[in-house]
Amino acid sequence: MERDQHEIYEYARNRIKQKKRLYFHFITFILGSLFFYIANIWLSLYPEIKWWIWAATIWAFLFILHFIKVFITDSFMNKNWEREQIDKLMLKQNKKIEQLKNNIDNAKPTI
């Protein structure tokens, strides 16, 4: 397999793995929230407080963060974006190096 094809394959494999983990997180969130509800209401575990709502809300917030990471952040901050940013920084650094070299050459006294 060529290098470019291998990179495309690896990127696709990693995206599938991320989405698979997100779906697993969603299923565990649903089942966990159901367990919290059952423990709080039916099993009367601290029944005076509806703590299962707080637990499910916090978990939902974490799931939303996971969702944002997988479908929003990682979709546009991929390898191509990373390469572009590296190229920009390298270009800036090379310009600064050239500028410093020119400053040093101009500051040298001619003998």
> Which two three-digit tokens encode residue 96?
């600064």
Instruction: For residues 76-84, give the mean pLDDT.
Output: 81
Query: Domain ranges in the chain?
Result: 3-76, 78-111
pLDDT at 110: 59
pLDDT at 78: 77
Model-wide pTM > 0.75: no
pLDDT at 52: 92
Contact 41, 47 (CB under 8 A): yes
3-state secondary structure (DSSP) of residue 2: coil
